[in-house]
Amino acid sequence: MSHLILVRHGQSEWNLEKRFTGWVDVDLTAKGKLEACKAGELLKEKNLRFDYFFTSYQIRAINTLKLILNTMRIKNNFTKAWQLNERHYGSLTGLNKDEMKKKLGEKKIQEFRRSWSIKPNPLSKNNPYHPINIKVYKDVPKDLVPDTESLEDTFNRVIPYFKKNIKDKLINDKNILITAHGNSIRSLCKYLFKLNEKKITSLEIPTGNPLLIKFSINNKITECKYLDQARANDLIAF
């Protein structure tokens, strides 16, 4: 039996400001840090032994993991993977969501945020928010750095990484914790729960709330629940 815990990072500075963040590297708010510590407390109560830890290249996910580990009194190395990054929002990056709803209409913004294959216009490589201009991504091959992404694009980088680096560990009865982002976790949920393209548009991922997924010895999902039931979104997957 193995466990996979998925945690969306705690509230970020741009979550608070309602800005499209994507690959921009912004940190947690005070509330986000508290959410991460709360996640650590909830996981500590489960008394699980974790074997591997994964996170993205982005500081909000990295610091969420660090706070969880600190709360659990765990000193362990973790793996950072850019493939687990948030979806790139292209030309919307840095813009306020409410203002863009007024400008483009709520339906269009909802399409950009939740549709499977629609993506915003590319972000100019001259823009300081473009990943090639952000130091943390200097080791990512430039031909793999996106200018914009749909959820489908995000899925197509998250899932191959998951299959290559994480799936076999679950099959071998290892417990794994991943801190990532709304859309990279939605991609994982689509794959794990075999959601179609319509259902995935309805899946919301709350910040800082551990999603526990339990697998049987034949790698079938037997349980799925948010540990903080007071902030649990409805799971359409299980």
Residues belonging to the active site: 9, 86
Query: For the residues of the chain, what is the DSSP string, one character each?
Result: -EEEEEEEPPPBHHHHTTB--TT----B-HHHHHHHHHHHHHHHHHTPPP-EEEE-SSHHHHHHHHHHHHHTT-----EE-GGGSPPP-GGGTT-BHHHHHHHH-HHHHHHHHH-SS--PPPPPTTSTTSGGGSGGGTTS-GGGS-S---HHHHHHHHHHHHHHHTHHHHHTT--EEEEE-HHHHHHHHHHHTT--TTGGGG----TT--EEEEE-TTS-EEEEEES-GGGPPPPS--
